[in-house]
Chains A and B, each alone.
Chain A
Amino acid sequence: MLDYITSYLSSNVTPGQAGNWFWATVYVFVVFGGVAVVVLSMNWLERKALAHFQVRLGPMRVGPHGLMQPFADAIKLLTKEDIIPDQADKFVFWIAPLIILCAAFTVYIVIPFGPTHAITDLNIGILFMLGVSSLSVLGIVMAGWASNSHYPLIGSLRSSAQMVSYEVAMGLAVVSAILMTSLNASGTGTLSMIGIVQAQQEQHIWYVFKFFPLGLMAMVIFAIAMVAETNRAPFDLPEAESELTAGFHTEYSGLRWSLFMLGEYAAMGAVSSIAVTLWLGGWLRPFPNFLKGSFFDLVFSLFPGFTFLALAGFCFLGVVRMPKHPTFRIQTIGLAGFGAMLGLIGLVLFVTPVRVRVQDIYWFLAKVAGFMYLYIWYRATFPRYRFDQLMKVGWKVLLPAALAVLIVTAIVGVLF
C-alpha cells in the first residue's frame, strides 16, 4: 500500500495517466478545494480592487481589511432562507445551479498546473474543456425557464444566444493555437493540455508571440470571447443588473444563488487557464530562452517565496498603519497573524525540494491571476453592451477575425 502511494512520486506523469487512484483522489480534493478557496478570495479581491478603482475602501469591517468578509458572506448565504417560487418548476429549479457548478468544476480535471500537476491528461483535453464549459449554458437556460418569471426568462434567452455565438469565435481561436502545436518535425499536433504546453516548450516560444501578431490576435479574440462566455462585464447582459434586475438568477436566493456565483468564478478561472495554457506557455517561466542557465533557474524559482514575503510585508505594513486604539486590537493581531502565516508559507517555499516542485504551479497561477485581474479591470471600466451590439461584435467582428487568423496561421505554418 505504501509502495503504491510512494511509487507515484518518482513518476513523471499525472496521477490520472499513471492510474494511481490514491494520488488522483488527493489531487481532486486539492484542486477542488483550491478552487473553492480561490473563489472565496477572488470574491474578496474583486470587491477590494473594484473599491479602490472607485475611490472607496470596500469591505473593512469584518476582519482586518475585510479579510474575513468572504466567510461572513458564506455564512450569511448558507443561513438565508431558500425561496423557491410557487409556480416554479421545482426539479429544474433545483438542478440548474448544480449543472452550472458541475460544468465549471469538471473542467479543472484537465487543467495542467505543471507537467505532472494535473488530475489527469486527456488526449482530447482542450475539446473536453470547451465541451464541458459549454454545458453551463444549459444550467442558465434551465434556471431562467424554471423560475417562471419574465426577467429570468429574458436573461436566459439572452445568455444562451450569447454563449452559443461566442463559443464559435472561441473555438476558432483555439484551433489556430492547436494548429501551431503541429509545427514540429512529425507534423502531429495535440489536443492534450499538457501536450500543448510541451509543444510550446519544444518550439521555444509562447504561442502568443508565435507568428507575431497572429498568436497575439488569436489570444485577444479568445480573451474577449471568454469574457462573454463567462457573462462578465462588459458582456454581462444575462444578469444585467440595471435592466433585468439580476437576469437568470433573479428568483434565486441563499445557497442556490451562491452556487451560481461559485460556478461563475470557477468558470472564470477555467477559461483563464485555457488562455494561459494555449498562449502564455502554461507553467513555463518567463524568458526561458534569453535568461537560461542554472543561475536564472534559481532566480526564477525564488519568485514564489518572495511573492509571499512581499504579501506578508504588506500585511505588516498594515499592522504598523493600524490605528493604535483598543478597538482595533483584535484586527491588528489578526492581520499580524495573517502576515505571519503568509511569511511562513513564503519561507517554506524557499526550501529547495518545495521550491523546485512549486514553481510550475506558481507561474501558472500568476498568469491566471493576471487574467482574473483583467476581469475586475473590465468591470470597473466598461459600460455594458446592448444585445444587438453584442451579437454584432460576436458574429461580425470576432468570428471573421478568428477565421482570418486561422487561415493565415495555416498558410504561414505551411510556408515557414
Chain B
Amino acid sequence: MAPVATTFFFYLQAGIAVVSGILVITRRNPVHSALALILGLLAQAGLYLMLYAPFVAGVQIILYAGGIMVLFLFVIMLVNLERAKKEEQFNKQWLVGTAAAAALGFLFVTVYLKGNALWPQSIPQPVESSNTQEVGTLLYGQYMFAFEIASLLLLVAIIGAVVMAKKRI
C-alpha cells in the first residue's frame, strides 16, 4: 500500500521521541523517566517502520520496551528512591554538560550543512522483498562471526549480572 500522511506521522513520532527524551533527563522520579523513555522507544519503533525496517522495529519493541525497560523498572523498584527524590538531581557539571551539548550540536549542524552532499538525499521507498528474510540472511551469512561474538557477550553479561547482583555467591 502507498504511504499515507508520511509527513504528519514523521513529525508526530519525532516529536514524541524528542519530547520524551527531554522528559527522561529532567524528571525527578526515575519511574517517570523510565516511562518517558518507553514512550520514546515506541515512537522510535514507529520511525523504523516508516523507514521500512519492520524487523528492527519489532526487535525494538520486544527487546527494548518489553525487556530492557522492565529490567530498569525492576531495579528502580528495588533501590529505595524516596530519599533520592528529595536530593539534588543535577550535579555541578551543568556547565560542562551544556558546553558539551553545544559543541556536539555545533558539530552536527556543521556536518549536516557542509556534508549534505556526501550522501544522496533519498526518500525511503517501500521495498518489495521480505525485510526479515534479508536481515536474517545477512545476520547468519556475512555477520555470522559478529553474531556469535554477540551471543558470547550476552553470556558474559548474564554471568556478570548474576555475580554483581547476587548477595552471596
Contact between chain A and chain B defined by CB under 8 Å: yes
Chain A interface residues toward B at CB < 8 A: 16-19, 21, 89, 91-92, 95, 122-124, 127-128, 130-132, 134-135, 137-138, 141-142, 144-146, 153, 156-157, 160-161, 164, 167, 188-191
* Contact in complex: A137, B70 (CB < 8 Å): yes
What is the CA–CA distance of A8 and B62 in the complex, to the nearest angstrom? Answer: 33
Stretch of B100-108, B116-124, B130-138, B150-158 with 4 or more beta carbons under 8 angstroms from chain A: B130-138
Chain B interface size, as a band, is 20 to 34
Q: Of B58, B66, B74, which contacts A124 at CB under 8 A?
A: B58
* Contact in complex: A17, B1 (CB < 8 Å): yes
For A128, the chain B residues whose CB sits under 8 A away are 58, 61
* Contact in complex: A124, B57 (CB < 8 Å): yes
Tell me if B50 is interfacial: C-beta within 8 Å of chain A.
no
* Contact in complex: B77, A132 (CB < 8 Å): no
Of B32, B59, B65, B132, which is in contact with the most chain A CB atoms at under 10 Å from its CB?
B132
* Contact in complex: A131, B66 (CB < 8 Å): yes
What is the CA–CA distance of A160 and B34 in the complex, to the nearest angstrom? Answer: 15
A89-B31, A134-B62, A164-B67 known; A157 and B38 CB under 8 Å?
no
A91-B32, A92-B31 known; A138 and B69 CB under 8 Å?
yes
A123-B130, A145-B31, A188-B130 known; A167 and B66 CB under 8 Å?
yes
Which 5 pairs between the two chains have the least Cβ-Cβ distance? A134-B66, A131-B61, A127-B58, A19-B1, A131-B62
* Contact in complex: B62, A141 (CB < 8 Å): no
Q: Is the interface of A mostly helix, strand, loop or mixed?
A: helix
Closest to B63 in A: A131
* Contact in complex: B1, A18 (CB < 8 Å): yes
For B38, the chain A residues whose CB sits under 8 A away are 138
Q: Is the interface of B mostly helix, strand, loop or mixed?
A: helix
Q: Of B4, B55, B70, B77, which contacts A138 at CB under 8 A?
A: B70
Give B46-80 as 1s and 0s: 1 = Cβ < 8 Å from A's Cβ atoms.
00000000110111011001110110011011000
* Contact in complex: A135, B74 (CB < 8 Å): no
Sample of 11 more A-B contacts, CB < 8 Å, known A127-B58, A145-B31? A21-B4, A122-B54, A131-B65, A131-B66, A132-B61, A134-B61, A138-B65, A138-B69, A141-B74, A160-B73, A190-B130
Q: Min CB distance, A344 to chain B, in Å? A: 38
Tell me if B2 is interfacial: C-beta within 8 Å of chain A.
yes
Instruction: Supply 6 A–B pairs (Cβ within 8 Å), ascending by A.
Output: A18-B1, A19-B1, A92-B35, A127-B54, A131-B65, A142-B73
A135-B65, A188-B133 known; A142 and B58 CB under 8 Å?
no
For B2, the chain A residues whose CB sits under 8 A away are 19
For B73, the chain A residues whose CB sits under 8 A away are 138, 141-142, 145, 160
* Contact in complex: B66, A135 (CB < 8 Å): yes
For B133, the chain A residues whose CB sits under 8 A away are 188-189
Q: Min CB distance, B53 to chain A, in Å? A: 10
Q: Min CB distance, A167 to chain B, in Å? A: 7
Of B55, B58, B131, which is in contact with the most chain A CB atoms at under 10 Å from its CB?
B58
* Contact in complex: A142, B132 (CB < 8 Å): no
For B35, the chain A residues whose CB sits under 8 A away are 92, 95, 142
For A144, the chain B residues whose CB sits under 8 A away are 77
* Contact in complex: A137, B66 (CB < 8 Å): yes
Q: Min CB distance, A130 to chain B, in Å? A: 6
A138-B73, A141-B77, A142-B31 known; A130 and B62 CB under 8 Å?
yes
For A188, the chain B residues whose CB sits under 8 A away are 130, 133
What is the CA–CA distance of A134 and B62 in the complex, to the nearest angstrom? Answer: 7
For B54, the chain A residues whose CB sits under 8 A away are 122-124, 127
* Contact in complex: B131, A123 (CB < 8 Å): yes
* Contact in complex: A157, B58 (CB < 8 Å): no
Q: Min CB distance, B155 to chain A, in Å? A: 15
What is the CA–CA distance of A135 and B133 in the complex, to the nearest angstrom? Answer: 25
Q: Min CB distance, A23 to chain B, in Å? A: 13
Closest to A182 in B: B133
Closest to A160 in B: B70
For B77, the chain A residues whose CB sits under 8 A away are 141, 144-145, 153, 156-157
For A91, the chain B residues whose CB sits under 8 A away are 32
Q: Min CB distance, B58 to chain A, in Å? A: 4
Closest to A163 in B: B70
For A127, the chain B residues whose CB sits under 8 A away are 54-55, 58-59, 62, 132
Q: Min CB distance, A280 to chain B, in Å? A: 23
For B55, the chain A residues whose CB sits under 8 A away are 124, 127
Q: Min CB distance, B45 to chain A, in Å? A: 8
Q: Of A19, A130, A146, A153, which contacts B4 at CB under 8 A?
A: A19
Closest to A15 in B: B1
Closest to A145 in B: B77
Q: Min CB distance, A140 to chain B, in Å? A: 10
